[in-house]
Structure formats: structure tokens, C-alpha cells
Structure 1
Amino acid sequence: MHTAHDWITTPITTPITADLIRGALDLEHTPHGVLPHRLPARARAQNTDPQLATAEAQPSGVRLVFRTRATSVELDSLPTKRVYVGAPPRPDGVYDLLVDGRQAGQGSVRGGNTVTVDMAAGTAESRPGPVGTLRFTGLSDRMKNIEIWLPHNETTELVALRTDAPVEPVPNRDRDRRVWLHHGSSISHGSDAASPTAIWPALAASLGGVELINLGLAGSALLDPFTARAIRDTPADLLSVKIGINLVNTDLMRLRAFGPAVHGFLDTIREGHPTTPLLLVSPIYCPMHEDTPGPTALDLTTMSAGQLRFQPMGDPAERAVGKLTLNVIRDELSRIVKQRSVDDPNIHYLDGRALYGESDFAELPLPDQLHPDAATHRRIGERFAELAFTAAEPLFD
């Protein structure tokens, strides 16, 4: 693998261990190397949903972090790329290089495994592929902090790390920023963002000067008890839970079940974080589900034209029997936080429309009617950072 680069000295291969990785809750050892997971093994053992299994294994917010004088860095990885029948080809996942916190390069890894998904037929076919190499050269020879952010939307097994100078973990004195753990849907996962540091939680974390653990799980912010336990058991200084859109997408529960499920989810989190600042965030503006219940379905007529768009399948009249819409969810989340704040002064509520509302949709519409594009990720990240971290009276105080 490494013969393609003309190393001036013999490259140093550094084992990829937990002290070099941030943002993952578990590392699985595979025949090729290590696979970062964003849910712990106990949670994964209780999951039976292939969607969640895929989402949590995509390393959104996960990065390699180390100190070195190396001028050349190579990372061998085995990506798993997803191809959707009838949809435009997806670009290779992007890796972001940060040097001392500043963007210094990007790259992608070709090859890898391929999963071909036929969403209309509900099938998926896997095909194995080769390990690829990511390479960054021409770095300064001073001691520096290196971060390699892994693709937020591409399962990535880490195979080997090579440098032309020794690597060491970042000292604890450089890791004293507050840790922010965020849980949300595909929007928090980073769907349609430009790169892993451009997903809105990563942007907000950078602007707010905090360390991110991102439990944005595409299609899977569904109040699962094992996710609540994972949050409960993970050390963090700040917590946020953004809930709503996936419950409408899946038509998973009715209002009668929703309120108690939210309380149960929060109760579990509070078992491990009794006084940690906790922000409950409702959905951003999404016209098709503001007052129309789910489920959400692909618009097959646009897929045949090479476009991916979603459409609502519910009827507004079904709200009368307890079906959830985004406005119903916002009202209930606001009520729950108001009720809980009597005994829990460290819980707060943020209406998601403060991050992206009706006027934003008019300016920056959701391309597929559901997910924000790259420009909208930046807007949401900047607004969240302002409201939660840097305002005169920040929500995370």
C-alpha cells in the first residue's frame, strides 16, 4: 500500500488505538483493522434495525487526533460505499485534515466495499472491495495537533496509520474543552453536508469551542431506550437531544405514547447526568410535515428522473386520532420541558425553527423536501452556536 509514496525515511506505522480516536463510543476489531462505532456493543446487541446499524457505523463526528512532527501522513482504510438504484451516483466520502484546529486539506479513498440498495424493492446487495489509501504530504515539520475527520456518511474501517515521524496522543492539557454530546436524526448525522467538519453539529462545536460526540443517527432518532442508556453512560459536560422528524417519517407512535416515551428517555439520561445542562430541540421547519402526519415515502416519479425527493403519506385529519406532526411534537416537547424544569433547572427547550424556519425555507429550500444542503448546514450550525454557546445568555450556561 505505502510504496506509492516516496518516503524519505522508513515510514512509522502506529497502531490505531482508542487514545487516538475521538467521537466514537466503541471500537470493533475486524480482520482488516478497527471499525469505529457510535453506539456501544450493548446497544448494538439490542438493535434489530438495519437502518440504525448502518447509521451508527458511519463515523459522523469521529476523528483521528494525535501530535506529531510528521510532514507526511497516510491512512489506509476500507470504506463501505452505498449505491442507490435509480438515484444519482453518490460521491466518495470526504476526509477533512485539520492542523492545530484549522482546515489544511481534504481527500477521499477509492475502492472499498459496495452496498447496492434498491429502495423501491427493499433489497440490498453487498460486494467486497479493496483497501484504499488517504495521503497528506507537505506538512510543516513543527510539533502540531493533527485531526483527520472521517467521512460522516461512509462506514470506514481503519487499517493502518503511517507517518514519517513518531505519533503521540494529544496531552490531557490540550483536551480540557467541554464535551458536548448531541443526539438527533439524519440532519444531525450530516445528510447532504459537504464534508465531515461541515455538518452542522461539527460547525457549532468548532464555533462554540467544545469537543463533539455526535449521536446523530440517520432515520433513527426514535427514543430507543438503548440510545438513552448510551447517552447516560457517556461522560459529557453538555447534552442535547433533537427529536421529532424521524418519529413522523416512520409513523412510529401516537401522541399517547410519545409524551411518556420522551419522559422515559430523559429520565434515563438523568440517571447518569443528573445536573448536566440538557437542551431538548424540536424539529426544524419542514413544510410537508408541519401539519401532515407520516409516514414519509420516496417519490418514485422523481427517482425515475434521477432525482431524490420525499413526500408525506398521511392525512392532516389523522391528527384527531393522535398521529404526530411537527407542530404537534413541538407543542408537546415545549410542554414537557416546562413541566420538568420545575424540578430540573438545567433542562432547556429550543424550537428548531429558530435554527431553520419558514423564511429560511423560502431562501434555502430543502432540495429533497426533507434534508438541508451544505449552505443550510452552515446556517443551522452558526445559529445553534450563537444560541447555545456564545449568546449573552447561552442555553448551555
Structure 2
Amino acid sequence: MNDKNEEHTMLSTPLTPAFVHGAAEIETTERGLRPHRLPQWARTQFPDPHLLMMEAQPSGVRLELTTAARTVAVVTHPSRLAYRGADRPRGSVDLVVDGVPVASSPLDGGDVVLADLQTGATEFLPGSAHTTTFDGLPAGEKRVEVWLPHNESVELIELRTDEPVAPVEQDRPVWLHHGSSISHGSNASTPTQIWPAVAARLGDVSLRNLGLGGNALVDPFVARTIRDAPADVISVKLGINVVNLDGMRLRTFVPAVHGFLDTIRDGHPTTPLLLVSPIFCGIHEDTPGPGAVDPESLGTDQVRFVATGRSEEQQQGKLTLRVIRDALASVVEHRADDVNLHYLDGTALYGADDAVDHPLPDALHPDTATHRIIGERFAAHAFSGTGPFGRTTARGTARR
């Protein structure tokens, strides 16, 4: 399987929203279709440039189709963020056949927003469309998923195959997950290797990923988005971005989390809901934010992050990860009447011992191998028969 121009006649199928899974809505552009992970009303209400960039990166979004095709090609126009002095790998498009990831192909071309981490200045560099081609698919009718890049936005222009295709209807339990850049997929190599994708595959559920890099900030519009979205099970992973931003104090954080959960419950009163605290992150365990890029790492092979707060500032209510974990556990304890609300300590997914064997390359985000570990542990906890999602999602196992 490769990424090249097709050498024989291909069928062109108009891409419609029916092919797109895992998005809140699909915008029609001059080129084609742009998936969004937040609805239009939320983007209008708070048009923060960084938030808009993150929600437009289609983490967890994929095309799903049935076909006997041996070759599948997707034409996209990518758009990405790059930093001066910091090398960032390109996004990739992944191919999954009958539930098994079989190929990955990096993007080329597209538009670039080049940002300077020191000055904040940006420069726009336009580029061309890109065709991703996968050939050598197995013969016969099969379910094909084309996972879009988790770290670049794309406009979907054209679907080309050597046999007819049909969209797949939603036929698995929907897992809606909200979290930070780690849930978004930061530092994972390809879209099927981010930890929520790993967990969704093991749990045999349909992923709707609301991991928003730098933007898991207990925002009411995200809670409303979750409230209004179809979901069989829901997880919310909060804390690290609040510390990174130094955006709240303990007094405001706890009521905000209660309000966030209250809003979700307005639309999903009995849906299994898992509140997850941050994984281990040494720089912020006992040191408040804000977080920052270590200037000494700029221009090196690996940009790193540092915490700029002081541990003693916890006395004024500043938040660290240890404080966050205690606070979230207490929130669930105080909502004991909600029997479908559960808590998971994030250090069970990645703890201090893991940091010795699998250190965070930039001191903040896990690498691809660690994403796999986190995904496997989450699936074992949440989707097992006795886990918080097990009874709800078990019916999906017989469908595949």
C-alpha cells in the first residue's frame, strides 16, 4: 500500500456527510467538506483562534464505507500549524480494514501557518491539495475506515476507488470523550495510534473525540456540546490544561466542574459518565502553572515544557496536579447519588513509575508507545465487563 497517483481508471464518489463519522458537523467550503468537532454555535460564541484551530483538526474523525475496492484514494487540502525552530512531523491518513489498522500515509502540501513561539507572530504560506492512495486492499466486500489526521485540519475534496462504495450507518455504541492535547493525540505518530483511538478499537465502540489541545478548560460551551450530542458512554478528562494556563484557583475549579457535570446530566441523566484526572506529569505534580516552552530547547531536536509557578503558591489556591486529583475525587464523592458517575485516577493510566520507563519526550505529552499503553489501560478499565462502560458497550462486541 502506498501514496501515489493512480495508474488506472477510478470511480469518483461525491463525499457527503453520510461518509463522515466522529464530527459534530460538516462545513461546505469552496473546495469540499471541512469536518468540525465543535458545532457552529460554539465556534461563534467563542471564536478564539487557538480553539478554532484545535477543533478543526479532525482527531478521531474518519470516513467509513463498505466496498469491494482494492484501491482507495482520498483528495484533501491540508492546513497545519508549524513553529519556527521546532520540527513537527506532518499529519498522516490511516487506513483501517474490518477493524484492523493496515496502513498509514503522511500528508504533503497544503497550507501552513508558521508561528514564532517567542514573539507570537504568524505567517501564512499557501499550498496545494494532496492525494492519499492506498492500494492492495483485500479482495471482497469489506468495511473500510479512512482516519483523518489528528494534528492537521483538512478539507475533503474527492473520494476515488476502483469499485463502488456505500457509506456505513452508525452501528456501534458511541463513546464521547473530552480531554486535553493528550486526548487530542499530541506526540502520537498517526491518528489511529492516539490513545482514545486505541481504546475505542479495543472497546469496539464508535469514537467521538473532543480532545482539544490546550482547551480542556471546563468550558460551559463544551459541556453543552456534550449534553446535546448522541452518546452511549461519556468520559471527561480534566486538569492539566487548567494548570498549564493557571486559569483557575481551587475555589473556582471545583464549582466549575460540578457545573460542567450538571450540564452534561441535563442531556444524559443516566448515561455512564467517567471523570478522569490527569496522568502523571512531573513538571506540574507539585508546581503550579503557567506552563511555558523552555527557551533553551528552541532550535534543538526536542522542544520541552516547564512549569513557571512556585510550589508555595498552592497556599493561595493555585492548582497542581496532585491538588486537581484530590479535588476531582472529592467531586465524585459529593455526587454519590449519581450511581452512573465514576472516577478514574489518571495515574492508573500513566504514573510515576511509567515516567521512568516511558518518559514524556517534551515533559508534557506521551510518545506513540505510551499512547498505546494509556489506551490499553483505559480500555481494560472502562470497557471490561465489570468496568463503568462494560454493560453498556458489551452489545457492540457481537456486531463485529
Fold equivalence (TM over 0.5)? yes
2:267 corresponds to 1:272: yes
State the Cα deviation string for residues 357-381 of structure 1 (Å, max 9, x = none).
0100111111111001111101100
Task: Name 2:370's counterpart in structure 1.
Answer: 376
Task: Name 1:105's counterpart in structure 2.
Answer: 103
Following TM superposition, by how much is the alpha carbon of 1:141 offset from its aligned partner in structure 2, in angstroms?
Answer: 3.6
Structure 2 residue identity aligned to 1:344 = D
CA distance in 1, matches of 2:222, 2:388: 23
2:150 corresponds to 1:152: yes
Q: How does 1:348-367 map to 2 (within 5 A)?
A: 348-367=342-361
CA distance in 2, matches of 1:108, 1:28: 24
Following TM superposition, by how much is the alpha carbon of 1:3 offset from its aligned partner in structure 2, in angstroms?
Answer: 11
Task: Name 2:396's counterpart in structure 1.
Answer: none
Following TM superposition, by how much is the alpha carbon of 1:283 offset from its aligned partner in structure 2, in angstroms?
Answer: 0.4
Gap runs ≥5 in structure 2: 392-400
Task: Name 1:139's counterpart in structure 2.
Answer: 137
C-alpha change, 1:306 and 1:121, in structure 2 (3 Å) is farther
**May I ask how many residue pairs the two structures share in their alignment?**
388
Aligned residues with identical type, % of pairs = 56
CA distance in 1, matches of 2:234, 2:388: 11
Following TM superposition, by how much is the alpha carbon of 1:306 offset from its aligned partner in structure 2, in angstroms?
Answer: 4.0
State the Cα deviation string for residues 93-135 of structure 1 (Å, max 9, x = none).
1111011111222112311101101111112211111111011
CA contact (8 A) 2:92 2:148 kept: yes
Instruction: Give SS of 1:340's match.
Output: coil
Following TM superposition, by how much is the alpha carbon of 1:305 offset from its aligned partner in structure 2, in angstroms?
Answer: 3.1
Task: Name 1:176's counterpart in structure 2.
Answer: 171
CA distance in 1, matches of 2:76, 2:90: 13
Q: CA RMSD in A?
A: 1.4
Following TM superposition, by how much is the alpha carbon of 1:248 offset from its aligned partner in structure 2, in angstroms?
Answer: 0.3
CA distance in 2, matches of 1:276, 1:176: 18
CA distance in 2, matches of 1:395, 1:3: 44
Task: Name 1:388's counterpart in structure 2.
Answer: 382
Task: Name 2:247's counterpart in structure 1.
Answer: 252
Instruction: Give SS of 1:95's match.
Output: strand
Question: Structure 1: which 4+ aligned runs deviate by more than 3 Å?
Answer: none
Q: How does 1:318-357 map to 2 (within 5 A)?
A: 318-341=313-336, 343-357=337-351
CA distance in 2, matches of 1:349, 1:141: 45
2:86 corresponds to 1:92: no
CA distance in 2, matches of 1:51, 1:357: 29
Following TM superposition, by how much is the alpha carbon of 1:86 offset from its aligned partner in structure 2, in angstroms?
Answer: 1.1
Q: TM-score, normalised by structure 1?
A: 0.95
State the Cα deviation string for residues 207-247 of structure 1 (Å, max 9, x = none).
11111100000000001111111100100000000000000
Q: 2:161 aligns with which of 147, 163, 174?
A: 163
Task: Name 1:66's counterpart in structure 2.
Answer: 65
CA contact (8 A) 2:178 2:211 kept: yes
Q: How does 1:188-337 map to 2 (within 5 A)?
A: 188-337=183-332
CA distance in 1, matches of 2:219, 2:172: 29
Instruction: Give SS of 1:376's match.
Output: helix
2:134 corresponds to 1:122: no
